[in-house]
Amino acid sequence: MQAAVAVAVGLALGFAVGWWLWPVQYTNTAPAVLRQDYRDDYIVMVATAYEVERDLEQARERLKLLNPEEPAVSVTELAERLIEADGSSEDIARLARLAWALGATAPTLIPYLEGPP
């Protein structure tokens, strides 16, 4: 009986230490596990860097780190969220242009396309 109680106490201690006091520390993570605001910023930066580099394949590869199947979806989703939240029109326009270049534009983004590249 005492042994069983001791095992239970040990387990509880183990859970407390492993999940709360001293959890696994992650390094070497990928952009996909960034907090939402960092992920959004990452997408905005990819769209902005695309304006400088004009390297669509590189932009696509970067976006694949967030959504390997449909990299452009992250861009359109973020652009639509920014439109709803009354976000920066410059950021929305950059996202719209990248989405358009990736062939994934949405009707709501059309007004932000000043002239597709």
Residues forming contacts to another protein in the complex (CB under 8 A) are 2-19, 23-24, 26-31, 33-36, 38, 41-42, 44-46, 48-49, 51-53, 62, 65, 90, 94
Pick between residue 3 and residue 107 the one whose CB is nearest to another protein: 3
Pick between residue 2 and residue 69 the one whose CB is nearest to another protein: 2
Tell which residue, 84, 105, 1, 99, has the closest CA to residue 46: 99
Cβ–Cβ under 8 Å, residues 106 and 76: yes
Which amino acid is located at 76 in the chain?
Answer: T
- DSSP annotation of 92: H
Q: Give the shortest CB-24-to-another protein separation in angstroms.
A: 4
Q: Give the shortest CB-63-to-another protein separation in angstroms.
A: 12
End-to-end CA distance of the chain: 75
Q: Give the shortest CB-55-to-another protein separation in angstroms.
A: 10
